[in-house]
């Protein structure tokens, strides 16, 4: 059984890069594509104007991964890292951040087997130090 969590976009990209460094090179693109199949339908739900830029950046990343995968060329970790960093850095940081949160498997476990339909509707919000939401003391 897969455990799920809700994460903001910038930490999502950071986590993807961290996990990809431990994956076999041949699994990086397929797993990232699978993550995109979980993320993209959720991004479509964010239609309000304040979400547009961040949503488009995240969508653009997964689109570029899909296009690269079509070439059947291997991707180096350096190239993958640069790609992630480019898109992550264009997502607006706090305090102007749009607040998009996406549901994904915790630590990307079972990423090879899960589908969008497996995703639960009632994932609890986690408040970590990486969240960019304002915390009141």
Tell me: the pLDDT tens digits for 64-110? Answer: 999 999 998 888 999 999 999 999 999 977 666 778 999 999 999 88
pLDDT confidence of residue 18: 96
Q: What share of the chain is helix, strand, coil (3-state, %, to 5)?
A: 55, 5, 40
Residue 2 has pLDDT above 90, yes or no: no
Predicted TM-score (pTM) of this structure: 0.85
pLDDT confidence of residue 6: 94
CA 61 from chain centre, in angstroms, equals 9
Instruction: Give the residue with greater pLDDT, 58 vs 126.
Output: 58
3-state secondary structure of 97: coil
DSSP letter at 36 equals: H
pLDDT confidence of residue 132: 44
Over the stretch 13-70, which tens digit does the pLDDT of each residue have? 999 999 999 999 899 999 999 999 999 999 999 988 888 889 999 999 999 999 999 9
* Distance from C-alpha of 88 to C-alpha of 82, rounded to nearest angstrom: 10
Find the angle CA(129)-CA(25)-CA(104) to the nearest 5 degrees.
35
């Amino acid at each position: 059984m897969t455990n799920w969590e809700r994460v903001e976009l910038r930490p999502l990209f950071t986590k993807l890069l961290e996990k990809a460094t431990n994956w076999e090179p041949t699994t990086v693109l397929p797993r990232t594509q699978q993550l995109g199949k979980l993320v993209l339908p959720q991004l479509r739900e964010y239609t309000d104007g304040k979400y547009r830029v961040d949503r488009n950046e995240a969508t653009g990343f997964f689109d570029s991964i899909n296009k690269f995968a079509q070439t059947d060329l291997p991707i180096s970790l350096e190239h993958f890292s640069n790609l992630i960093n480019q898109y992550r850095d264009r997502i607006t940081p706090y305090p102007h951040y749009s607040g998009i949160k996406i549901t994904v498997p915790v630590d990307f476990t079972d990423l090879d087997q899960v589908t969008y339909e497996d995703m639960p509707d009632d994932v609890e919000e986690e408040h970590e130090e990486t969240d960019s939401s304002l915390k009141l003391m």
